[in-house]
Chain A
């Protein structure tokens, strides 16, 4: 089995701005992304992971993962997301090296 190197960008932020983040991801040329609900503790607040009702659903956290081919696209996504949102909204972003099976998909 041959595996290929690729980059995975991870963005953890508020659900409220997830649409804006995904627009950036697509504009940068990525072909898809995965969004999962997230929770934990950051410098702003503790966000519960539980399913307990939170009155404002939009302020829950999500983790957005996107796999791209090449460091440039990865950095471009991270820069644009940070520029556009992270001054006013909570969020972190980091990149990981991953190995993928079918490079054509990305």
Chain B
């Protein structure tokens, strides 16, 4: 019983974080029909800033890190991405009234990873002074890309089965290229390279690091507004998507937490790393994944998978999963 009360108290504290406040604030603004507009250009710049900061910081710290430690968590990340997609497809195939392609695309999006959730998680972990290995954010592509590729490949195999001789050739390299060229991943990778190769300490300390939290609050405000706007689209498709989008992130995170714990026991993966891995798994791609899936699975209905991810999945990952796994980590690892 003490365990549960302790857990709930920690959860309550997490709910007061300003990160979450901005997300809910954005939803409220959109719900009340506010005319507040944040221009597209600012949104794109904010995404760049956040991923650049995460990348540079990772790159600077990787210089002194032992990269062989990364091997097992990277394999686990690939495994999580693949399992999430397969489990999601299985779930949707049991349900009535779900088109196969829509189910595959939704599962693919939930297997992929969200940059905004990652940034929010890093801020909360820093506030809690929970440390993690510098290369943990670099696990992002290891989970993201396999999930997207698997979803597109499976959808194309399914279509080929359905009508012989359809355009069944899957351009796997095209998907990898698409993902790496996406705004989030390319900024993250450039940041990692710059942090690793150059000496960016001064620009990092004076520019990227101090602005990080402020920009994240703007991004979350935008995500909140978008979440509310997309709700109407989600209403037009089967309710199963909303139900999946609510519960799947929590289950995905739990699975990743378990696997992360195994890595903690085997190779000493840090508690902060386990928490961050769980949050990565619970997140679902909201920026760069949707266009890749739209291109790769054109027959899937975007209202289903984007509505599920942006309106329900991302708010659940940020509002519930971040506090949940931090509280769980604090109890499991006695932080």
**A: which residues have CB within 8 A of B?**
16, 45, 50-59, 88-89
Listed A/B pairs (8) with beta-carbon separation below 8 Å:
A16-B294, A16-B295, A51-B37, A52-B37, A55-B223, A56-B286, A59-B294, A88-B298
Distance in angstroms from A41 CB to nearest chain B CB is: 13
B233 touches A55 (CB 8 A): no
CB contact list, B212-263 vs A, under 8 A: 222-223, 226, 233
B222 partner residues in chain A, CB cutoff 8 A: 53, 55
A53 partner residues in chain B, CB cutoff 8 A: 37-40, 42-43, 222, 226
- Kindly name the residue among B223, B291, B310 whose own CB sees the greatest number of chain A CB atoms within 10 A: B291
Rounded to whole angstroms, the CA-CA distance of A31 and B133 in the bound complex is: 54
A57 touches B44 (CB 8 A): yes
Q: Number of B interface residues at 8 Å Cβ cutoff, please give it.
A: 24
A45 partner residues in chain B, CB cutoff 8 A: 233, 303
B37 touches A16 (CB 8 A): no
**B: which residues have CB within 8 A of A?**
37-44, 222-223, 226, 233, 286-287, 290-291, 294-295, 298-299, 302-303, 306, 310
Listed from nearest, the 5 A-B pairs whose CB atoms lie closest are A53-B43, A88-B298, A58-B291, A52-B37, A55-B226
B291 touches A16 (CB 8 A): yes
A52 partner residues in chain B, CB cutoff 8 A: 37-40
Distance in angstroms from B65 CB to nearest chain A CB is: 33
Rounded to whole angstroms, the CA-CA distance of A54 and B302 in the bound complex is: 15
| Nearest opposing residue in chain B for A17, CB measure | B295
| Nearest opposing residue in chain A for B310, CB measure | A55
Rounded to whole angstroms, the CA-CA distance of A101 and B303 in the bound complex is: 45
| Nearest opposing residue in chain A for B37, CB measure | A52
A57 partner residues in chain B, CB cutoff 8 A: 40, 44
Distance in angstroms from B260 CB to nearest chain A CB is: 28
Distance in angstroms from A80 CB to nearest chain B CB is: 15
B226 touches A50 (CB 8 A): no
A51 touches B291 (CB 8 A): no
Distance in angstroms from B278 CB to nearest chain A CB is: 24
A59 touches B302 (CB 8 A): yes
B294 touches A54 (CB 8 A): no
B38 partner residues in chain A, CB cutoff 8 A: 52-53
B298 touches A89 (CB 8 A): yes
B223 touches A59 (CB 8 A): no
Distance in angstroms from A23 CB to nearest chain B CB is: 14
A88 partner residues in chain B, CB cutoff 8 A: 298-299
Distance in angstroms from A102 CB to nearest chain B CB is: 36
B39 partner residues in chain A, CB cutoff 8 A: 51-53
B294 touches A50 (CB 8 A): no
- Kindly name the residue among A55, A56, A57 whose own CB sees the greatest number of chain B CB atoms within 10 A: A55
- Kindly name the residue among A16, A50, A53, A58 whose own CB sees the greatest number of chain B CB atoms within 10 A: A53
Distance in angstroms from B44 CB to nearest chain A CB is: 7
Rounded to whole angstroms, the CA-CA distance of A50 and B43 in the bound complex is: 14
| Nearest opposing residue in chain B for A88, CB measure | B298
